[in-house]
Amino acid sequence: MIKLNNVSKTLDGSTILEHVDFQVQPGTITGIVGRNGAGKTTLLRMISGIIHPDKGAITVDGKSVFREPNVKQNVVFVPDSTDALKAYSVKEIVKFYKVVYPSFDENYYYQLLDKFNFKKTGKIKQMSKGQKALFSLILAFSTNAQYILLDEPTDGLDVIIKKDILQFIAEEVAKQDVSVIISSHRLDELEKMADHIVVLKDGTVESEVEMEALKQQYKKVQVAYNEPFPNDIQDHLDVLSQAGRVGVVLIKEDDAESEAVLRQYNPILFEELPLTLEDVFVAKLGGDLYVS
Ligand SMILES: Nc1ncnc2c1ncn2[C@@H]1O[C@H](COP(=O)(O)OP(=O)(O)OP(=O)(O)O)[C@@H](O)[C@H]1O
């Protein structure tokens, strides 16, 4: 488990992160979502032991990354830029990775390269941007590390490669017993795959969501009436959108009272729609957390 306890960081006199607390459970995907500049990269760099927090503690399986450097073999940070890799060839990088990650699985690495039609020779700098992004994930998932931290892994990529990458991550997490932290400014991308979402805002954890619990907690209902959309509903319930006589309302799963309000005006349509995380943020957390 990764634990952050009251972590704060100041860079060049500005407070970047303050009182950050959260945990990453084994075998799960945690999404860190926040706008540009929210502190996501700084947070991931601290968890992987690249920079020190000014205050608070970060532990990986109960050990400090800073006091026990061996812990680093179990944590891989994949930055949003692949610049650090570009001088190496596909073969050379293995030697380098084996020094840092002694359990690096070379067979698995070449197997994955085959699967995604990568050439086994040649320099990394010759790859396209999308290939580089996928390649850096292949490297990370070949290390056998328990914790993989991905900084904006799909940023700036086209939809096809984005889909491949997200699917690759989900498959690897299902196959290996790894924990993945993914930072993104796209709530919609993370919510499909994350078990747990941490929202960073103004340098601190604004909210945390367990996706399973959330889906059981709320439902989204589309209703339509023969008469103008009732003010009573507008005034008392969480209306996500409304056009003419049709509205979409967020209610709690077990909230019989709110459902009775919707039904008392004899809706001609009462239909449950798939719930998204954005719906809950918009209705319950002020709406400005939609960060894409
Ligand atoms: N070395 C540094 N010195 C001073 N300020 C820094 C440094 N690195 C980052 N910052 C500042 O810290 C804040 C958070 O940056 P960070 O890169 O962690 O955010 P982010 O959420 O990852 O943003 P993005 O989505 O744009 O990558 C920004 O305001 C940034 O300008």
pLDDT score recorded for residue 188:
82
pLDDT score recorded for residue 20:
96
- Position in ligand 1 atom list of the atom nearest CA 12: 4
The answer to whether residue 95 scores a pLDDT higher than 80 is: yes
d(CA 78, CA 101): 14
- 12 touches ligand 1 (CB under 6 Å): yes
The answer to whether residue 288 scores a pLDDT higher than 70 is: no
CATH topology for 214-284 is Alpha-Beta Plaits (3.30.70)
Per-residue confidence band for 291, with pLDDT thresholds at 50, 70 and 90: very low
d(CA 139, CA 106): 10
Question: Which amino acid residue places its CA nearest to atom 6 of ligand 1?
Answer: 11
Question: Mutation test of ligand 1: which of 7, 8, 15, 16 has the most ligand atoms closer than 8 Å to its C-beta?
Answer: 16
Residue 28, judged by CB atoms within 10 A of its CB (0-12, 13-18, 19+), counts as middle
Alpha carbon of 45 to ligand 1 centroid (Å): 11
pLDDT score recorded for residue 285:
57
pLDDT score recorded for residue 62:
95
- 42 touches ligand 1 (CB under 6 Å): yes
Alpha carbon of 42 to ligand 1 centroid (Å): 6
pLDDT score recorded for residue 287:
52
Q: What is the pLDDT of residues 134-184, one digit of tens each?
A: 999 999 999 999 999 999 999 888 899 899 899 999 999 988 889 999 999
The pair of structure tokens assigned to 57 is 């503690």
- 185 touches ligand 1 (CB under 6 Å): yes
ipTM: 0.94
Q: What is the pLDDT of residues 46-65, one digit of tens each?
A: 999 999 999 999 999 999 98
**Domain residue ranges of the chain, discontinuous segments joined by +:** 2-202, 214-284
pLDDT (average), residues 121-142:
92
pLDDT score recorded for residue 286:
56
Alpha carbon of 136 to ligand 1 centroid (Å): 22
The pair of structure tokens assigned to 106 is 């070379």
- 53 touches ligand 1 (CB under 6 Å): no
The answer to whether residue 290 scores a pLDDT higher than 60 is: no
The answer to whether residue 103 scores a pLDDT higher than 90 is: yes
Alpha carbon of 37 to ligand 1 centroid (Å): 5
The answer to whether residue 85 scores a pLDDT higher than 70 is: yes
pLDDT score recorded for residue 209:
87
Alpha carbon of 39 to ligand 1 centroid (Å): 6
Question: Which amino acid residue places its CA nearest to atom 29 of ligand 1?
Answer: 37
Percent of the chain whose pLDDT exceeds 90 = 65
Q: What is the mean pLDDT of the chain?
A: 90
pLDDT (average), residues 110-131:
91
- 34 touches ligand 1 (CB under 6 Å): yes
- 38 touches ligand 1 (CB under 6 Å): yes
CA 93 to chain centre: 27
From the list 250, 218, 222, 219, the residue with the least C-alpha distance to 237 is 250
Higher pLDDT, 186 or 283: 186
pLDDT score recorded for residue 292:
42
- 37 touches ligand 1 (CB under 6 Å): yes
Query: What are the angstrom distances between the C-alpha of 237 and each of 74, 144, 213, 221, 258?
Result: 47, 49, 21, 11, 7
- 184 touches ligand 1 (CB under 6 Å): no
The answer to whether residue 77 scores a pLDDT higher than 90 is: yes
Count, residues in the chain? 292
pLDDT (average), residues 93-117:
94
CATH topology for 2-202 is Rossmann fold (3.40.50)
CB 63 within 8 A of CB 77: no
Question: Which amino acid residue places its CA nearest to atom 2 of ligand 1?
Answer: 11
pLDDT score recorded for residue 256:
92
Alpha carbon of 100 to ligand 1 centroid (Å): 26
- 219 touches ligand 1 (CB under 6 Å): no
pLDDT score recorded for residue 84:
85
CB 276 within 8 A of CB 284: no
